Amino acid sequence: MCGILFCCEDVQSIQENSSHEFQELFERLKDANTSRGPDAQDSVSTSVNGVRLTFFASELHLRGSAFVSQPHRDDAANVLCWNGEIFEGLNVLPEENDGARLFSLLQTAQTSEDARDILGSIEGPYAVVYYHHALQRLFLARDPLGRRSLLVHMPDPRNPRFLVTSVSVGAHPLYSLEELSTQSIFCIDIKRLGNDRMTRFSECLHRMPRQSAEKPLPFAEPRKVNRSIPGEVPLVEDLDHIPEHLSVAVDDLIAHLDRSVMLRVRDIPQHNSNKGKARVAILFSGGIDSTMLAYLAHRHVDPHEPIDLLNVAFENPRKLLVQAEGNIGALPRREKKAKLRDRKDYMSIDVTYTVPDRLTGLQELEELRELCPGRIWNFVEVNVPYEECQGARATVEALMFPGRTVMDLSLAVALYFAARGVGQVRDIADADPRPYTSTARVLLNGLGSDELLGGYGRHRTAFKAAGWQAIIDELQLEIDRIPTRNLGRDDRVISSHGKETRHPFLSLSVVFFLAQLPVQHKLDPRLPPGLGEKMLLRLAARKVGLVEASARKKRAMQFGSHSARMGPGEGDRKGDLLLGEY
């Protein structure tokens, strides 16, 4: 994980009275990006025809045996700021740095299309800013699924600079930030911008299609969903018996996921101060997605090395009051008033962290211990008191910006504390807990399985309304929406701790495999909950021995951890409300 900060400004057009204020903002953005890459930071600045280009990058060392600082630059004045991982498409040896390998390849580009084609040939999460000096063009891009954050501010009268940053400092009058679209590769003609001071910036900004018209690029964009309509589909009786028509698909899913996890946990550098400690952690709820990733990670992480299972639980006053008194909000008005008059003092209620995700997490911990004897699983109980959560709220809101909804906050605060990894562990089930802070810098996240395998209630609703065709349409929408949903926000929040999240389900190779499968191989909404949704994954989990996890129903993170609607009066707030509108 790395931080990228870039500024493009016409020196003559920047008024002196705004420079000091902007420099203060720029320094704050440097600090925010330094948190993403605490191992090293550097900057480089160059001027082209009166246009000043300032590059800043921070580095989190997660690839290669030798440390390589950023920004990458060469004698030809090319500059690369790289925040990403290359897992496929470019052969990167274990001792090599993938950013340095990509830079050497980009140096061979002779046209804008060459640079575009190089990016379309690699698979992995990335955000990139690359200046090609011979072409005098600047390239900006995020990977096709938007797994890394990159925010942009377009020049305006208040701040006539073009600004790019991995993370913000929250709302600020000197920028209007939005996520860089993943639909195109963006190219800025610096030469034209500098030669004609009257040219509007938008006229120098070009959007190149990700896919080449001359030759197909393997990782330029996600594959479309298989649109074949099923005929008569036999029902799956239970998870213990894999029907013959699903046998190959189950084996292939296990193989694709296993390879995706392997690519994401191997060759992580071992820092001398953390030898023998965990390098890999799972954002762990005990659900089928996170448990499957934990089991597969066990196959590829050194058996003598612990794996951390990060399980977060919140002290939620509203939930604790409901547990103590029942759901007052559901009572008739007269009874509700009487109850409110006699309501217990929240401070008198014993605080526990036995939230739903804690209970299922502990159950799956035992299942993993049975399946993977000899592995040390550090089940990290991340318990978050209400006051500590409220104290971190301003920080979390700044990190998730420009996300600003109630739902954004509920999810972001859960990820913030889980990724921090400060909690307690127990060596055996009934032992007293001891303080523990996770040393893992790579966090595996199960996000993506619901979108690809039909895990949401809306998929069942679509089937009831219009059959298999409606589900196919919905699954295509799910893939189309992945880049614009939560990945950038989650990246900003998690990486603030100098850690990196990796999404094995969102490997483009896994996405391609699942997209081409017939819909009836992935889910069957005719079957009951706990079987029909994500049916293929459930069969795969049962086959590898995850019996309890395979039948577990979906539960959203904010509800399983109790991070949603924290206060006593917040039970009726809708997730899409903007913060401050309730």
Q: Is the pLDDT of residue 344 over 60?
A: no
Instruction: Calculate mean pLDDT across residues 219-247.
Output: 96
Q: Where are the domains of the chain?
A: 2-209, 244-315+351-560
Length of the chain: 582
Q: How confident is the model at residue 256 (pLDDT cuts 50, 70, 90)?
A: very high
Q: What does the pLDDT read at residue 16?
A: 55
Q: Which residues pair with 9 in a beta bridge?
A: 52
Query: What integer pLDDT is reported at residue 399 of this predicted model?
Result: 98
Q: In this predicted model, what pLDDT tens digit does every residue of 60-92 receive, in sequence order?
A: 999 988 778 899 999 999 999 999 999 999 999
Type of residue found at 399? L
Q: With cut-offs at 50, 70 and 90, classify the pLDDT of residue 340.
A: very low
Tokens, residue 134: 């011979």
CATH assignment of 2-209? 3.60.20.10
Q: At what angle do helices 406-420 and 393-400 cross, to 10 degrees?
A: 110
Mean confidence (pLDDT) of the chain: 92
Residue 379 contacts residue 156 (beta carbons within 8 Å): no
**Residues with a known catalytic role:** 2
Residue labelled with tokens 């030759």: 215
Query: Parallel, antiparallel, or unpaired for β 177-179 and 126-132?
Result: unpaired
State the pLDDT at residue 330: 62
Say yes or no to pLDDT of 379 above 80: yes
Pair of tokens at residue 349: 């209620």
Lowest pLDDT segment from 7-11, 292-296, 401-405, 445-449: 7-11
d(CA 413, CA 390): 10
Instruction: State mean pLDDT over 535-564.
Output: 94
Q: Which of 91, 83, 76 is closest to 134 using CA atoms?
A: 76
Q: Tens of pLDDT along 189-211? A: 999 997 776 578 989 999 999 99
Least confident of 167-171, 361-365, 411-415, 551-555: 551-555
- Cα separation of 433 and 389, whole Å? 21
What gap in Å lies between CA 108 and CA 469, rounded to an integer?
Answer: 46
- The predicted model scores a pTM of 0.94
pLDDT of residue 566: 74
C-alpha atoms less than 13 angstroms from C-alpha of 357 in its C-beta half-sphere: 30
- Percent helix, strand, coil in the chain, to 5, is 40, 20, 40
143 pLDDT higher than 70: yes
**Interior angle at CA 558, CA 361 and CA 366, nearest 5:** 0
Q: Is 75 helix (H, G, I), strand (E, B) or coil?
A: coil
CB 556 within 8 Å of CB 357: no
**Is 244-315+351-560 a CATH 3.40.50.620 domain?**
yes
Written as one letter, the residue type at 405 is T
CA–CA separation, 112 and 214 (whole Å): 14
CA distances from 94 to 268, 272, 281, 418, 575 (A): 9, 18, 20, 29, 43
Among candidates 408, 401, 485, which has minimal Cα distance to 166? 401
Q: What is the pLDDT of residues 402-416, one digit of tens each?
A: 999 999 999 999 999
Amino acid 572: pLDDT: 56
pLDDT, tens digit, 9 for 90 and up, residues 473-495 = 999 999 999 999 899 999 999 99
How many Cβ atoms sit within 10 Å of the Cβ of residue 377?
21
Distance from chain centroid for Cα 143: 12
